[in-house]
Structures are given as C-alpha cells and as structure tokens.
C-alpha cells in the first residue's frame, strides 16, 4: 500500500474552477424552446397536497393522503388504511420536572427481515416496565483545542476531566463526532469525512488510530462498537459491507435494487442484525419515490420496509429503546414541504408525523417516552425542543443564540433522562460549544468549547 | 437565481408568479427570461457541457410551469425553482453512465497536508477533472455552495434535506473532491 500524493484544496480554487465550468450565459434559443413547450403543456391543477403518504399495512400501493398542514387530525381515504393519523403542531406547554428514577421497558425483538421476507403486521408486545435507578456516567468528549484533538471523559456536574489521549491534528470543515459503545467500555471517534478514525479504550485510557480506508460513504458503527458498516458499489449495484476495526470484511449484504442511490446515513438495528438505508427509487420521477430498506448483514434478501410516493426523507433515524419504533426527520423547511419529526412503527409500518414545522436530529429519551430534537437554523423558532413520544406536550428548551448563523443542534439525553447536552454554534461549522440544560427546562450551562460528545 | 431576479421588486415577482400560476404564459416568460442565465450556469457547472445543461434547464422550467399552481408561497419561487433545477440535473446525470466515485486505500484524514493545487498544476484543469468523478448529489452541493454562494440552509432547501444533513453532506462532498483530486494527481504523475 503506497500513500498517494496529497493535494491541498482551497475554497478559492473550487470557486474558480466552478466559475469557469459554468460558462457565461444561456443559449438565446433556450428560452424560446421553453416557451414553445410551455405553450403546449397543461398546468397541473388541483392545489397543493401535503406530502406524507403512508403505504398500507398490507403492502399494496394504496396510500393515505394526508391533507393539510392544518391544525386538525386528518380525514383518511376510506377503508384503505385504518386509523393512521398525522398530528398537528402542538402548543407549547410546561411539563413537570423529570424524576431521576426511570422505567426501562423490556426490549422487544427487532423484526428479522431474513425470517420474514413478506412481513405481515403484528402487534408489538407491551413492554413490562421494570423500575431501575440510573446513575449518569461521564460524557465522552472529542475536543479540538490548542493541542490538537483531545479525547477525555467529563463529569458534567463536578467538571472532572479524565484525559484519554490525543489524535493527530488535522483539519476538516465538518463531520467530527464520537460515540459510546453500548457497554460504555469503548468509544469510536469519527473524522471530518465521517469515517472512523480511532477507538478509545476508556478503562485502559488508550487511543488506537484505525486504518480503515475512507470510501466516501458515511460509516456507521455497530452498537457494540466493534463493526463498521459502509456502502460500497459492486458493478452498478450498491451493497452494505461490514468490516471489523482492522478493515477486514466480515459481512457482505445482498445488493440493493438496481438504481437505488442511498440518500441517508445507514443505521444499525439494536441487535446488529441489519441496517436501515433510505433511498429514492426510482429517483427520476417527480416527486421521487422514497423507500426505506432493511438490509440484513448476513446476506439475506433486502427488505423493502416502506415506500412513499412523496419526497419523504428518512434522516437521522433512531430506534426506540423498546425497538418497536424508529424516529426520524423529514424536516425539510421549504415552501412545498412541511416535514419535521416523524415515527415509523415497524411492526405494522405506520408512519406518524409528530411535528410539521421542522425538527431535526431527534433522539429518544432513555425510557422511550419522550423525544428531543433541534429545530432549524435561521428560523425564529430555532432551538432545542422536547415532546412526548406521541408529539404532545411540546416544550422549547433553548432559544438559539445570536444572529442568523448560529443554532442549537445535536441534542443527546443523559442516561437518567433528566438533562440534555447540545451543541451551540455557527451552522457552517461542525463543532460548536457543548451546553447542558435540564430536560424540564432551565438555563443552559456551558460545558466545553469547540467539542462534540456522547453520553 | 435569486440574485438574477434581484432587480425585480419582490411584490412584482409575486404578482408575476401568481399570474403565471393561473396560466399566464407571458408572465411566465418574464420569470424565465430573468432567470435563464443563472439557471443555465448552475446546470452547466453541475453537468459540464452545454447540451446537457440546456436540456436540464429547459426541463426544469417546463416542470416549474406544470407544477406552478401547486406553489403555495409565490415569494419562494426562486428557492422552489432551484430545487427543481437541481433535480433535473440529477436526473440528467443519472441518465448517463453511472458515475463511480474514486475510492482510495488511505484515509485522507490521516494524511498530512500536501502541496497546494496551484503548486502542482497552476490552473483549474486538474480540479475540473476531479470534479467529474463526483456523483450528482455531491456536484450539486458544491455548485450551490461555491458557485451560487448559498448558505447551507438554502442548500438544504434546494436538495430537500434537513439542514444538518446538508451540512455533513457538503463536508462529505468536499472531502470526496479532495480525494478525487489526489487521485487525478496520482494518475498524471
């Protein structure tokens, strides 16, 4: 293996290249051609329809049409779907303080696509809560400081830091992040191109740089922190390759359908048996159809979990603690879209829109009863929000700082569900400053500047 | 597109959009005329040649005409049109041979910064070839950001993705261009 020569790329160079590539002006005949076509093209009447459309539980292509960004629950195409609802935006209300003793639902098995190639809806077993007392551990922090990248644990209450090590300094505009393994023995650090760069042994206080080649795909680390999934191409098909931390492939999925171009990060199931991949397919139609595929790691056939005929987007997906539901964002803030935070109940494929005026990076509370999310930049209602898992009892925890370029984002829960850590900073920088705020509301407190963290 | 239309008062634009949405082709022609150059430049930067750029731009305008009655807010016409244009460019690219992004065996993250591009080639030729290696989404992101100078929130709007997603995808696109540039340089050594 030889190191390729590295060319340093600067923004001015990109601007000059693109300006040259763009040319100067449109051909004169182009406008005439457009108007000639317009003269023979009918406009599509019938008014605007909101875009959330849920496939029926039976897997046929009947859909509900969710009418209206309105403030009421919606009428449903009779007989096709049943009782699927889209909730209106909820009013802000105050919620009582959160206790530090929580109930932890017993996990229900993740649906296995390998064993259910043609799944039928089934009831999700009711969890049987078992009261447990949760003690918050420390945050794992990835901080860019004067000594380069510093990795340490941080007690957000007492402020105690335990240094774990450093990484070679290198620059990158965005993408750095860090994640605990499920047992909190290790953490995985990501670099600026969203590739894993190091494994941190917290107990042993050691940092091991990883040698996985970057492949342009966003890596996704398994819940145990020992495997990495990434998208690869094989001919004209895309598949998921699972490699260990040495880069050796240990699983090779079946290929996604021809023509699928994944559009969101891949997400592991809690039991590490499969991954979720979202893609438009076909992409050439307007609006594109969007699918959510469940890709088993063992090579079993890919399962088409959900199809929508709208520009639905499955971003920032996260499984609920009881493994029954996926929360995600379709929070596109454009004139013809009205997305936000939504959920997919996996057993019967029910999509529920929880917010309709934006909402990104949703995360379940440890007890699965609430969801925290960030609401966009440059918006008057920008900030961190918490709501119940059904979209009710929405409260705004923070007001985004100053100016039009700052925002609050990347909210994460404390293990006891009483606090939330988030990042505050310019939206064109991946690394803001870490703050902590009570989940019940209160004044945010600065923890660390220029850092990202997991808890 | 917004910059090209900036000379026209918003209220006038809104009125034109409303008229066009009601089927007034003359009003639509005025909207198209002031936006044609900028739309074409974006398409050409993404696609790299006049015929494809012209096809994508025409397709975008005709789609806009067809869908215009569904636009709720006339003042957001430019953002809406930009989104249609980017989708038309993506479709145009997907119609070509599948673009395979270069994959390198060493992570860029762990390399020390190398010589500046200008030190190696002195012009934008190498970079332009590297750009050709990128897929439609990455090209679109880079064009909207570096040519159109749109903020990330606007790019997110144009691509139809959340702001946070657009941000990391922009980062990913830039990193991919960096890798492709290194690969181009290697190939020419």
- Whether A276 maps to a domain, the answer reads no
Q: Smallest Cβ distance to B146: which of A11, A31, A170?
A: A11
Q: In the predicted model, is pLDDT for residue A102 greater than 80?
A: no
pLDDT given at position A158: 86
User: What value of ipTM does the predicted structure carry?
Assistant: 0.80
Residues 343-372 of A with CB under 8 A from B: 360-361
Measure CA A116 to chain center: 26
Which has more pLDDT, A315 or A420?
A: A420
Tokens of A34: 């457009």
Q: Give B95's pLDDT tier (boundaries 50, 70, 90).
A: low
Whether residues A44 and B67 touch (CB distance < 8 A) is answered with yes
> Following DSSP, what letter does each residue of A57-82 receive, concatenated?
TTSSS-B-----S-SS-----TTTS-
Euclidean distance between the first and the last CA atom of chain A, given in angstroms as a whole number:
37
- Whether A440 maps to a domain, the answer reads yes
Judge contact between A245 and A226, C-beta under 8 A.
Answer: yes
Whether residues A214 and B107 touch (CB distance < 8 A) is answered with yes
Distance CA A192, CA A177 (A): 9
pLDDT given at position A66: 29
Q: In the predicted model, is pLDDT for residue A75 greater than 50?
A: no
How much is the mean pLDDT over chain B?
74
* Buried b or exposed e, range B110-137, using 16+ CB within 10 angstroms: bbeebeebeebbeebebbbbbbebbbbb
Which has more pLDDT, B85 or B2?
A: B85
Q: Smallest Cβ distance to B113: which of A6, A18, A173?
A: A6
For A23-46, what is the mean pLDDT? 79
Q: Smallest Cβ distance to A192: which of B71, B112, B175?
A: B175
For A368-394, what is the mean pLDDT? 86
Q: In the predicted model, is pLDDT for residue A167 greater than 70?
A: yes
3-state helix, strand, coil in chain B (%, to 5): 75, 0, 25
Q: Which domain holds residue A121?
A: 47-133+316-455
pLDDT in tens, A48-59: 322 222 223 333
Contacts with A404 (C-beta within 8 Å, 6 or more apart), sequence order: A377, A378
- A-B interface: how many C-beta pairs under 8 angstroms? 309
Please report, for chain B, the start and end positions of each structural domain, with discontinuous segments joined by +: 10-95, 108-188
Measure CA A158 to chain center: 31
For A28-43, what is the mean pLDDT? 83
Distance CA A333, CA A356 (A): 9
- Whether A384 maps to a domain, the answer reads yes
- Whether A71 maps to a domain, the answer reads yes
pLDDT given at position B104: 28
Whether residues B71 and A236 touch (CB distance < 8 A) is answered with no
Residues 388-407 of A with CB under 8 A from B: 405, 407
Contacts with B2 (C-beta within 8 Å, 6 or more apart), sequence order: B78, B79
Residues 266-295 of A with CB under 8 A from B: 283-284, 286, 288
For A58-64, what is the mean pLDDT? 29
CATH class assigned to B10-95: mainly alpha
Site of tokens 């860019």: A144
Residues 314-333 of A with CB under 8 A from B: 315-316, 329-333
Q: Give A261's pLDDT tier (boundaries 50, 70, 90).
A: low
Confirm or reject contact between A6 and chain B (CB < 8 A): yes
Judge contact between A50 and A338, C-beta under 8 A.
Answer: yes
For A363-367, what is the mean pLDDT? 95
Residues 129-168 of A with CB under 8 A from B: 168
Whether residues B80 and A334 touch (CB distance < 8 A) is answered with yes
pLDDT given at position B80: 82
Q: In the predicted model, is pLDDT for residue B119 greater than 50?
A: no
For CA atoms B32, B37, B38, B41, give the dihedral sign: positive
How much is the mean pLDDT over chain A?
72
CATH class assigned to B108-188: mainly alpha
Tokens of B147: 């040519």
Residues 45-84 of A with CB under 8 A from B: 45-49
Provide the CATH number for the domain around residue A337: 2.120.10
- Whether A54 maps to a domain, the answer reads yes
pLDDT in tens, A433-452: 899 999 999 999 999 988 88
pLDDT in tens, B57-66: 998 999 899 8
Distance from CA of B32 to the nearest CA of A (A): 7
Q: Helices B77-95 and B152-159 meet at what angle, rounded to 10?
A: 60
Distance from CA of B2 to the nearest CA of A (A): 15
Number of domains into which chain A is organized: 1
Q: Report if pTM > 0.80.
A: no
Whether residues A25 and B41 touch (CB distance < 8 A) is answered with yes
Of A274, A291, A186, residue with least CA distance to A229: A274
Express as a percent the part of chain A with pLDDT over 70. Answer: 65
Residues of A in contact with B93 (CB under 8 A): none
Q: In the predicted model, is pLDDT for residue B45 greater than 90?
A: yes
Residues of B in contact with A45 (CB under 8 A): 69
Q: In the predicted model, is pLDDT for residue A163 greater than 80?
A: yes
Whether residues B162 and A315 touch (CB distance < 8 A) is answered with yes
Q: Give A382's pLDDT tier (boundaries 50, 70, 90).
A: confident
- Whether A239 maps to a domain, the answer reads no
Task: Find the closest chain B residue to A50 by CA distance.
Answer: B70
pLDDT given at position B150: 80
pLDDT given at position A133: 72
Tell me which of A144, A148, A214 to substitute to probe the interface with B (most B C-beta atoms closer than 10 Å).
Answer: A214
CA atoms within 13 A of residue A168's CA, in its CB half-sphere: 13
């Amino acid at each position: 293996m030889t190191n390729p020569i590295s060319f340093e790329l600067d923004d001015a160079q990109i601007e000059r290249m693109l300006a040259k590539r763009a040319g100067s002006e449109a051909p004169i005949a182009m406008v005439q051609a457009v108007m000639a076509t317009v003269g023979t093209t009918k406009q599509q009447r019938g008014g605007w329809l909101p875009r959330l459309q849920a496939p029926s539980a039976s897997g046929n292509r009947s859909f509900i049409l969710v009418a209206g960004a309105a403030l009421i629950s919606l009428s449903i195409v009779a007989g096709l779907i049943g009782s699927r609802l889209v909730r209106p935006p909820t009013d802000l209300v105050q919620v009582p303080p959160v206790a530090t003793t929580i109930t932890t639902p017993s996990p229900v098995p993740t649906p296995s696509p390998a064993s259910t190639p043609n799944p039928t809806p089934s009831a999700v077993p009711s969890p049987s809560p078992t009261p447990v007392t949760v003690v918050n551990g420390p945050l794992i922090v990835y901080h860019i400081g004067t000594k380069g990248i510093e990795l340490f644990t941080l007690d957000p209450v007492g402020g105690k830091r335990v240094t774990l090590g450093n990484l070679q300094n290198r620059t990158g505009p965005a993408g750095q992040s860090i994640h605990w393994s499920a047992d909190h023995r290790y953490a995985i650090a990501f670099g600026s191109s969203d590739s894993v760069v190091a494994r941190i042994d917290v107990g042993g206080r050691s940092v091991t740089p990883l040698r996985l080649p970057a492949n342009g795909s966003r890596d996704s680390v398994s819940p145990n922190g020992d495997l990495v999934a990434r998208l690869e191409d094989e001919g004209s098909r895309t598949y998921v390759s699972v490699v260990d931390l040495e880069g050796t492939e240990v699983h090779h999925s079946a290929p996604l359908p021809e023509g699928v171009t994944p559009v969101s990060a891949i997400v592991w199931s809690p039991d590490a048996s499969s991954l979720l991949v979202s893609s438009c397919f076909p992409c050439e139609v307007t609006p594109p159809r969007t699918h959510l595929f469940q890709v088993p790691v063992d090579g079993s056939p890919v399962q088409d979990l959900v199809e929508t005929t709208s520009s639905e987007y499955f971003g920032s997906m996260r499984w609920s603690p009881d493994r029954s539901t996926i929360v995600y964002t379709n929070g596109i803030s454009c004139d013809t879209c009205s997305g936000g935070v939504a959920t997919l109940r996996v057993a019967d494929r029910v999509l529920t829109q929880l917010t309709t005026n934006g909402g990104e990076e949703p995360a379940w509370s440890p007890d699965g009863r609430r969801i925290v999310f960030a609401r966009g930049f440059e918006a008057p209602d920008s900030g961190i929000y918490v709501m119940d898992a059904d979209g009710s009892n929405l409260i705004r925890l923070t007001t985004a700082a100053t100016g039009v370029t700052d925002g609050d984002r990347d909210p994460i829960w404390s293990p006891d569900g009483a606090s939330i850590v988030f990042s505050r900073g310019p939206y064109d920088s991946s690394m803001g400053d870490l703050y902590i705020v009570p989940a019940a509301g209160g004044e945010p407190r600065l923890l660390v500047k220029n850092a990202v963290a997991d808890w | 597109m917004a910059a090209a239309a900036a000379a026209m008062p918003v209220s006038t634009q809104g009125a034109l959009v409303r008229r066009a949405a009601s089927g007034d082709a003359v009003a639509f022609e005025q909207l198209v005329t002031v936006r044609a150059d900028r739309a074409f430049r974006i398409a050409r930067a993404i696609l790299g040649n006049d015929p494809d750029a012209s096809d994508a731009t025409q397709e975008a305008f005709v789609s806009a005409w067809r869908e215009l009655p569904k636009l709720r807010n006339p003042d957001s016409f430019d953002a809406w049109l930009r989104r249609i244009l980017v989708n038309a460019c993506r479709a145009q690219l997907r119609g070509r041979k599948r673009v395979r992004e270069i994959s390198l065996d060493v992570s860029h993250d762990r390399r020390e910064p190398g010589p500046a591009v200008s030190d190696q080639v002195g012009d934008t030729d190498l970079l332009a070839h590297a750009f050709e290696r990128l897929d439609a989404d990455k090209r679109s992101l880079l064009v909207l950001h570096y040519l159109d100078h749109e903020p990330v929130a606007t790019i997110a709007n144009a691509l139809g993705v959340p702001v946070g997603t657009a941000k990391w995808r922009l980062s990913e696109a830039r990193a991919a261009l960096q890798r492709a540039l290194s690969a181009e340089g290697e190939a020419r050594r």
